[in-house]
Chains A and B, each alone.
Chain A
Amino acid sequence: MTPFLSLSAAMTKGLLRDRAAVFFMLVFPLMFLVLLGALLKDSGLSQSEIVQVGDVKVLDDIPAKERAELRDVLRIEKTDGSAAARKEALEKVRKGDTDAAVYQRPGGRVELRYSAADQVRAGNVQGVLDSIVQQANQKATGRPPAFQLRTSTLQDQSTKPIQFLTPGLLGWAVAMSGVFGSAFNLVNWRKKRILRRLWLAPIGAGSVVGARVGVNLALAFAQTGIFLAVATLPYYGLKLTGHWWLCLPLIACGTLAFMSIGLLVGAWAKSEEAANGLAQLIVLPMAFLSGAFFPLDDAPGWVRTVSGFLPLKHLVQAMEDVLSRGEGWGAALPAMGGLLLFAAVLTLIASKLFRWDAA
C-alpha cells in the first residue's frame, strides 16, 4: 500500500470506530432532517376544530359532498344542546383545546365564540362559518347565485420546507465534519506526536494532507447521499431538478472551506477540548446565520450582511438553487470560486500559525 492509501485507511478506521464522531457527523444532522422535515411538512394553517353545541341548522343541512370537502379545513365535533354542554364547550375554547364553539339561538341566530389567541386561525374559522351561513342564506332565497367563485390550487413555486431544509441541514452536517475532522486530527496528532513521527518518515506532505482531504470528501459525499436519499423519499417529497448533481462539486469546495476553518482552529487550540469548544463556537452560530435551519428572508439587514461573509451561507444557497430550483452552473460556479478562495486564505493563515508541539 502507498503511504497515501494506508494513511487514508488509518484515518477512516479511526473515524468509524469513534462512535461519538459518527453520531455527531452522520446521525445527528440526519435526525434534524427527519424530525424537522416531518414537523414542517404541512406547515401553514392546518385544520381548525370547532365544537357544535346542539343542533345548528345551517351546519346540519350541509350536503354530504360539501361536508367531505369541508373536512379538510374544519372538523366539527357535535355535542348535545344542554346548558352544561355549552358551558363545557366555552371552557374548552378558553383553554385553547378547541378553536371555537358554535350554537344556535332561538330565532335562527348562529352564535360563534372563538378564542382570539391565534388571530389567523380565528379569522379562518370565522370566514369558513360566515361562508356557510351566507350560502345557506342564498339557498333560502331559492334563486341561483348571481356570482360564483371557483377555486383550484396551482402547483406553487414557493419554497417548501424540505427544499431549504435539505441543503441547509446538509450544509451544516458537512460544515461540522469538515471543521471538527481537520481540527481534531491536527490537535490529536500534534499531541500524540504523530505529526513529528510522520515528519521523520520518508513521505511527502502531499500524502498526509491528501489522505485527510480524501477522507473528509468521502465522508461529505456519504452525508450527501444519505441526505438526498432521505429527502427524496415520497414522505418528505424533495424533487431533484436537472442539475442537482452540481451539489457534489459544491460540497467538495465547501468541505475544503470548512477544513480550512478546522485547520485554523487546530493550529490555535492546544487541546482537543479547546478545539471542540472553539469549533462549536464557530459552526453553530454560522449555521444559524447561514440559514441552515430556517430561511433568512425575514432576517434583519445586518444578519444578512454578516451571513454574506460565511462560506456556509453561499454553499446552502447555491445547493438550494441547483437541487430543487432547476438552476445550473450559473448558480454553482460563483459559490465554488468563493469557497475555494476562502479555503486558500484560511489555509495560508493557518500555516503561519502552525506549530509542531503542543507546548
Chain B
Amino acid sequence: MVEHAISAKGLRKRYGETQAVDGVTFDVAQGEFYGILGPNGAGKTTTLELVEGLREPDEGTARLLGSPSWPRDRTLLRRIGVQLQASAFFEKLTAREQIRTFASLYGVPADRADAMLDTVGLVDKAGTREDKLSGGQAQRLSIACALVHDPELVFLDEPTTGLDPQARRNLWDLLRQINAEGRTVVLTTHYMDEAETLCDRVAIMDHGRVLRAGPPRELVEELGCDSLEDVFLQLTGREYRE
C-alpha cells in the first residue's frame, strides 16, 4: 500500500474556552493537491499547525509521510516545506540572502538557492530587501524559501491573499508546476475559484470540524450548486465571521 502523504486522525485542540479543532480526520494521497477551506475562525490555521507539528494536539495524531509530526522530528522536517506567511523573512536581508539563509538551514548549497530564485522569477530582484518587494514578489519568495530543499510535501498558508489577478495567475502556474513535479501540496485559501482550479480535493471546515471533503466538481454536483462558492456558502452560512 502506498503511504499517505498526510494521515490526520481525530485531531482536537482547545484554547481556553474555545474548541479550535474538534475531531478532524482526513487523508491526503501522495502527489495530491489538497485544499483546506473555511471562513475565518473555522479552525483551518490550527488544523494546519497541528498537522505540521507546530503544536501538540490535545487528542489524535497526524502522520506525515508515515512519521508522526509531534514530537518534533528533524528527519521528517527535512522532507516537508512550509510557507507560513509572506512576511516570515529575516529583517533587512535581500531576497538572495533570505533564500540562501533558509537553504543553509537545510544544508542546501547556495547555487541551488539561486536556481530556486530563478524558478520563481525573482533573479532581477535578488538584491532587493524584503521590505521593498511587492506583495506578489514576497509571496513568490516565501514559496521559494519553502521549496529550496526540494521537499516531498509542501504546506502553503493563503499564498495568494492580497495579490492582483496577474500575480495570482502567475502563482497558480507556479503551484501547478510544483504539484506536477510530484510533490504533495496542501493549501488554505479564501478564494473558491482558486480551490476549484488547483485542488484535486478540498475539505470545507467550520467550527473546528470538516463539514465535507471531496473533489470540487463532485461537491458541486452533490449539493446541486453552480459553483464551489455556493457549496461553501450553503455549508457555512452567510453570517459575518470575525
Q: Which of A8-16, A135-143, A293-301 binds B? A: A8-16
B85 touches A193 (CB 8 A): yes
Which A residue sits closest to B54, measured CB to CB?
A: A196
Q: Give, as a whole number of angstroms, the nearest-CB distance from A223 to chain B.
A: 21
Is A188 an interface residue when CB atoms closer than 8 A count as contact? yes
Q: How far is the CB of B51 from chain A (nearest CB, A)?
A: 11
CB closest residue in chain A, given B82 = A200
Q: Is A116 on the interface with B (CB-CB < 8 A)?
A: no
Near B by CB (< 8 A), chain A positions 158-200 give 188, 192-194, 196-200
B82: A residues at CB distance < 8 A: 197, 200
Q: Which residues of A contact B110 (CB under 8 A)?
A: 1
Question: Which of B87, B92, B102, B110 counts the most A-chain CB atoms under 10 A from its CB?
Answer: B92
Q: How far is the CA of A332 from the CA of B217 in the complex (A)?
A: 74
Residues from chain B with a CB closer than 8 A to the CB of A6 are 100-101, 104-105
**Known contacts A14-B90, A18-B92, A188-B91; is-contact A201 B102 (Cβ 8 Å):** yes
Our pick among A2, A192, A196, A200 for the contact of B104 (Cβ within 8 Å) is: A2
Q: Which of B34-42, B71-79, B220-228 contacts A (4 or more CB under 8 A)?
A: B71-79
Asked if B22 is at the interface (CB within 8 A of a chain A CB), the reply is no
Q: Do A202 and B93 have beta carbons less than 8 Å apart?
A: no
Q: How large is the interface on B (under 10, 10 to 19, 20 to 34, 35 or more residues)?
A: 20 to 34
Q: Is the CB of B92 within 8 A of A1?
A: no
Contact with B90, one of A5, A10, A196 (Cβ below 8 angstroms) = A10
B105 contacts which chain A residues (CB < 8 A)? 3, 6-7, 198, 201-203
| A17 within 8 A of partner (CB) | yes
Q: Would A196 and B93 count as touching, CB distance under 8 A?
A: no
Per the bound structure, the CA–CA distance linking A21 and B102 in Å amounts to 24
> Which residues on A sit within 8 Å (CB–CB) of B106?
201-202
A267 to B84, CA, bound (A): 21
Complex interface: chain A residues within 8 A of B85 (CB) = 192-193
CB-defined interface of B45-56 with A at 8 Å, one 1/0 digit per residue? 000000011100
Q: Which residues of A contact B232 (CB under 8 A)?
A: none
1/0 per residue B62-90: CB within 8 Å of A?
00000000001011011010101101111
Asked if B97 lies at the interface with its beta carbon under 8 angstroms from chain A, I say yes
User: Which of A2, A17, A196 is the one whose CB lies under 8 Å from B84?
Assistant: A196
How near does chain B come to A114, taking the closest CB pair, in angstroms? Answer: 61
**Are the CB atoms of A199 and B54 closer together than 8 Å?**
yes
9 more A-B residue pairs beyond the given contacts A6-B100, A201-B77, with a C-beta to C-beta distance below 8 A? A2-B104, A3-B105, A10-B93, A13-B97, A14-B90, A194-B89, A196-B54, A199-B54, A201-B105
Residues of B within 8 A of A (CB): 52-54, 72, 74-75, 77-78, 80, 82, 84-85, 87-93, 97, 100-102, 104-106, 110
